[in-house]
A and B are shown apart, each in its own frame.
Chain A
Amino acid sequence: MSRISDIVDRIKSGESSARSEVENALQRATSTDEYHALLSVTAERALERADAIDARIKNGEDVGRLAGVPFVAKDNFLAFGAPTTAASRMLEKFDAPLQATAVEKLEQQGAICIGKANLDAFAHGGSTENSAFGPTKNAFDQTKVAGGSSGGSAVVTALDVVSFALGTDTGGSIRQPASFNGVVGVKPTYGMVSRYGVVAMASSTDTIGCFTKDIADAELVMDIMSGRDVNDMTTLPDFFSPLDELKPGQKIGIIKESMTDAVDGEVQDKVNGYVEKLRAAGHTVDEVSLPIVKYALAMYYIIVPAEVSSNLARYDGIRYGHRAEGVQTLAELYGRTRDEGFVTENKRRIMIGSYVLSSGYFDAYYLQAQKARTLLIDAYEDLFKTYDVLLTPVAPTPAFGLGENTADPIKMYLADIMTVPPSLAGLPAISVPAGATSAGLPIGVQLIGQRRTDANLLALAKSVEGK
């Protein structure tokens, strides 16, 4: 297993080269093909970049903090070398004319994208089973789901294809698959990382983050990606910098509504085990209550479909993406293109969005949800007056079976019940490995912080890492 710093050191010392690291990653990608974690491999461009980086290293140039380190981007990041499909028929042949700011920033530091990871089409889902190109299998048990929507990114990290991978998280799409595959997953404060060049889902909660093997690697990747971008007006001035030292004696609240009987017993055991580690490291952990959290999933499945219906209106078959053939009128072209280009879950969300935004229902659904969101944010603010960090499981269960929840959308949505609330409030939240079930399925703990305290969350996780 290689961490980012191992790879950087190997290349620096001459023990390895960017080319051999890329070749190694490509070989791992091939040998783990059966998991269907990658939708494309960008071998040609990756090897060209590796040779260019090796030449610059030979010349004694400083190539950056990630010189020669291979990575994978979720296939909703615009990147060169392969189509950006968002795992949809709509964008199956879409060759991006530019790259996402996050990808550009990593490349400026010498990182090399070797492929694009599978996801639920347009990031709509919690299992990667909504991919138009077939599901990704769990890294620990091929009969189980990878989680989602960033399932492919989690699995390539867990299988050591690469040391880090990029994901997007709108309501849990990094944290939940990280939990299901035993890796670190970071969803930053809303606005910390530019979303320019990433396929939009729900603009008021979309965030960009990463999967890594350990916290130090996550700190490095987030440090490089964070900051203001003139191309994304919602980005905040750069506030993120990894902490050298954690303030001792952190006050942590475990949210009691997240530890009810509805949560799997083994998940509760592992979460309690993590709490004991925090206590042993000198932090205090109290039980706290956040009653409004029971309404968060309902808020989410009003607000997000509303934003989805708006963001996906652009896929009309005209300027880019799939266009239906053999149509006579423009209306028919729109209707047929969108029916063919979207998967069922995309259609569900677009239509729910159209419903909650339509006159007559707007106040009862959309406006009510945005008001409820204010109450949720206020309830978090109250807890953060006393506590530095809040803690919950990442998901109520370990990875479920492939096909187990596909017939029932509500059951699928419930897998996000722990991760959705911080998203609605724009809070940073990370998923940290906390052990495995008796059957060997990983379980994750979610740490949630006040906005802009991402560095503290990571430092806290680091203080108990490997203990």
Chain B
Amino acid sequence: MTVISRDDVQHLAQLSSLQLTDDELDSLQTDIGNILGYIEQLGELDTTGVEPTYQVTGLENVWRDDAVISTDVTREQMLALSTESANNQVKVPKVL
């Protein structure tokens, strides 16, 4: 059984860009431990020499022309979806 420490959960939260509260960290530590405990049973299955399946209908790469497809959606509409915009651009907090 995989044991998930509080530090592990904190690390996973960081990988997932989730800033969790202390209470959330506690309950997720329990839940994630239990879920990993459940899915571990898959290790029993012998899959030697078996190819993985990522796509179920046998599709290969689907190509289209490298051309701009026009839509009815305007730049103004797209910008309006953002909480903050200025000068035709989306505004974000300081990066550096």
Contacts and interface: CB of A to CB of B under 8 A. Distances in A.
24 contacts: A190-B57, A233-B62, A234-B59, A236-B57, A329-B93, A330-B92, A334-B17, A335-B17, A336-B19, A338-B16, A339-B18, A339-B19, A344-B27, A347-B16, A348-B35, A352-B35, A365-B39, A365-B42, A368-B42, A371-B53, A374-B47, A375-B47, A409-B34, A426-B56
Contact of A191 (B57, B84, B90): B57
A181 B81 CA distance: 36
Contacts of A368: 42-43, 45, 47
B17 A298 contact: no
A370 B18 contact: no
A319 B18 contact: no
A348 B28 contact: yes
Contacts of A313: 17
Given A329-B94, A330-B94, A409-B31, A299 B42 contact: yes
B21 interface: yes
A208 B57 CA distance: 16
A355 B55 CA distance: 22
Contact of B42 (A189, A298, A351): A298
Nearest to A98: B73
B90 A318 contact: yes
Name which of B53, B59, B77, B82 has the most chain A CB atoms within 10 A of its CB.
B53
B78 interface: yes
B86 interface: no
A97 to B, nearest CB: 4
Q: Assign chain B's interface to a size class.
A: 35 or more
A301 B52 contact: no
A348 B47 contact: no
Nearest to A373: B53
B47 A354 contact: no
Name which of B20, B39, B42 has the most chain A CB atoms within 10 A of its CB.
B39
Interface string A24-36: 0000000000000
Interface residues of A, number: 72
Contacts of B93: 327-330, 332-333
A334 B15 CA distance: 12
A316 to B, nearest CB: 7
Nearest to A353: B16
Nearest to A357: B15
A441 interface: no
Contacts of B73: 97-98
B52 A374 contact: yes
Contact of B72 (A98, A204, A351): A98
B32 A371 contact: no
Contacts of A384: none
A134 interface: no
B64 A230 contact: yes
Interface in A396-453: 409-410, 413, 424-426, 451
Name which of B44, B52, B78 has the most chain A CB atoms within 10 A of its CB.
B52
Contact of A451 (B16, B28, B31, B57): B57
